[in-house]
Structure 1
């Protein structure tokens, strides 16, 4: 989040620099049409983790408490990086997929739009 200082010349230390996360990067992950989770989750991940591990192990650990999760088919998920469609290579690392520190990815699960279609 950017900050606008009220005092001219103010310089603050950036605390969320990549080098402060012991080899990990911050990754923001959001599930479209599921506002039970009001914002993307920010998670520390290794840039050497494969996208398959993220999709099959990490993301289910975050979102499986939602009643729609049991109907999710990982192979049918639509992925987005920032606001652009994204076709991740599941056997490649997060770094090789271009996911840098503080990257944002979102995913949409076709036909699943929250509890009783409410986007919640």
Structure 2
């Protein structure tokens, strides 16, 4: 997120530069219609991680506490990179799927809209 300084000429050090994360990149991940998680999670991931590893190994650790998680049909997930719909290639890396430092992905699970349809 960009910040506009109120003081003219302000020059601050950017602390969340990619080189500060020991080979990892920050990736924001949000689950649409599931506001039990009120904002996207921000996690450090290696750009060499495959998208399949992200889905199979990382996402359950973040979202499996939600009652809808057990009903997720992974082949029906709708993926968004920033605000554009995209189809990830599961056996390609996050880098190859176009996910850069501080990138955002969101996913929607058709038919699942939170606890009792409340979007929570």
Give the structure-2-normalised TM-score. Answer: 0.98
Residue 96 (structure 1) shift: 0.6
User: How many positions carry a matched residue from both structures?
Assistant: 120
| 1:73 counterpart = 2:73 | yes
- Secondary structure of 2:67's counterpart equals coil
Q: Which runs of 5+ in 1 are unaligned?
A: none
Q: Is the 8 A contact 1:72 1:109 kept in 2?
A: yes
Q: What is the aligned partner in structure 2 of residue 87 from structure 1?
A: 87
Residue 110 (structure 1) shift: 0.5
Please provide the CA RMSD for this pair: 0.7
Q: What is the aligned partner in structure 2 of residue 48 from structure 1?
A: 48
Residue 76 (structure 1) shift: 1.2
Give the structure-1-normalised TM-score. Answer: 0.98
Structure 1: which 4+ aligned runs deviate by more than 2 Å? none
Q: Which runs of 5+ in 2 are unaligned?
A: none
Residue 115 (structure 1) shift: 0.2
Residue 20 (structure 1) shift: 0.3
Q: Is the 8 A contact 1:56 1:74 kept in 2?
A: no
| 1:96 counterpart = 2:96 | yes
Q: What is the aligned partner in structure 2 of residue 7 from structure 1?
A: 7
CA distance in 1, matches of 2:2, 2:103: 15
Residue by residue over 1:24-62, the C-alpha shift from the partner in whole angstroms, topping out at 9 and shown as x without a partner, is: 000000000000000000000000000000011101110
